[in-house]
């Protein structure tokens, strides 16, 4: 029920943003939702669910367009440079927050070039290990990692992403030494 309420809020927010722009009903042509990450990750999944719901309710096509790369900068820049007419939307994530402090230069200014429309989800970070790792609890995993310094890898959805930062924080807090393996998105990292 909470998810449906959020969909309703998104629909109203998108419609409200577009209403002053023209007398025509919104949307009167397909809407592009840019996901600045690869397919299969949380932002992509949420964008596809939202696109389908918006398409059904507003009777217009909402198309998900994955534009991964550079820690979400490539896709975000595409939207920042698009016409501000409500027909190019961005599926943001917590990566955008970390980019504000980690990246000295970006081709856009987040709060100047983009306008927030609606929060659509929240997610938690979890630690999962391959079943072959002899650890069933976090305590057992930390002990195993300490006994095997530099021999374990952890995946993230890319350098500087919250998942990368969480991995580095985990290493620092647990006193472990693991190798960061960045991927092009959460879906790819999850499959690693």
User: Which CATH class name applies to 138-191?
Assistant: alpha beta
Domain locations in the chain as residue ranges: 2-113, 138-191
* pLDDT score of 90 more than 90: yes
- The CATH code of domain 2-113 reads 3.40.190.150
Half-sphere exposure of 85 (CA within 13 A, CB side): 14
Q: Which two tokens stand for residue 172?
A: 């620092």
Percent of the chain with pLDDT over 90: 59
- CA dihedral for 108, 112, 116, 117, sign (positive or negative): negative
Confidence band for 1, pLDDT divided at 50, 70 and 90:
very low
Q: What is the pLDDT of residues 158-182, one digit of tens each?
A: 888 888 989 999 999 999 999 999 9
11 backbone dihedrals φ, ψ, rounded to 5°: -60, -45
At 87 the pLDDT is 98
Among 7, 74, 64, 53, residue whose Cα is nearest residue 30: 64
Largest pairwise CA distance in the chain? 67
* pLDDT score of 3 more than 70: no
First CA to last CA across the chain, in angstroms? 33
Q: What is the pLDDT of residues 144-157, one digit of tens each?
A: 999 999 999 999 88
pTM of the model: 0.71
The Cα 123–Cα 119 span in angstroms is 12
At 163 the pLDDT is 86
At 12 the pLDDT is 47
At 188 the pLDDT is 82
User: Is it true that 2-113 and 138-191 share their CATH fold?
Assistant: yes
At 120 the pLDDT is 87
At 126 the pLDDT is 86
Question: Using omega within 30 degrees of 0 as the cis cutoff, is the peptide bond preceding 90 cis?
Answer: no
Q: What is the pLDDT of residues 100-148, one digit of tens each?
A: 888 889 999 998 999 999 988 877 788 899 999 999 999 999 999 999 9
Q: Read out DSSP for 129-179?
A: --TTSS-SSHHHHHHHHHHSTTTEEEEESSTTSHHHHHHHHHHHHHT--EE
Confidence band for 183, pLDDT divided at 50, 70 and 90:
confident
Q: What is the pLDDT of residues 5-24, one digit of tens each?
A: 555 555 545 555 555 555 68
For residue 13, what are the CA distances in angstroms to 17, 51, 124? 6, 14, 25
């Amino acid at each position: 029920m909470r998810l449906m309420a959020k969909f309703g809020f998104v629909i109203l927010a998108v419609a409200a943003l577009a209403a002053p722009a023209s007398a025509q009903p919104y949307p009167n042509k397909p809407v592009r939702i840019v996901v600045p990450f690869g397919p299969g990750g949380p932002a992509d999944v949420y964008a596809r669910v939202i696109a389908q719901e918006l398409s059904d309710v507003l009777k217009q096509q909402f198309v998900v367009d994955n534009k991964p790369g550079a820690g979400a900068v490539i896709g975000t820049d595409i939207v920042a440079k698009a016409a501000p007419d409500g027909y190019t939307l961005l599926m943001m994530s917590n990566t955008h927050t970390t980019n504000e402090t980690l990246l000295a230069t970006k081709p856009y200014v987040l709060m100047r070039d983009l306008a927030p429309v609606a929060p659509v989800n929240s997610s938690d970070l979890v630690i999962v290990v391959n079943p072959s790792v002899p650890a069933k609890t976090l305590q057992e995993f930390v002990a195993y990692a300490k006994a095997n310094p530099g021999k374990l890898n952890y995946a993230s959805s890319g350098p500087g992403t919250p998942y990368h930062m969480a991995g580095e924080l985990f290493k620092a807090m647990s006193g472990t030494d693991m190798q960061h393996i960045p991927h092009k998105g959460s879906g790819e990292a999850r499959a690693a």
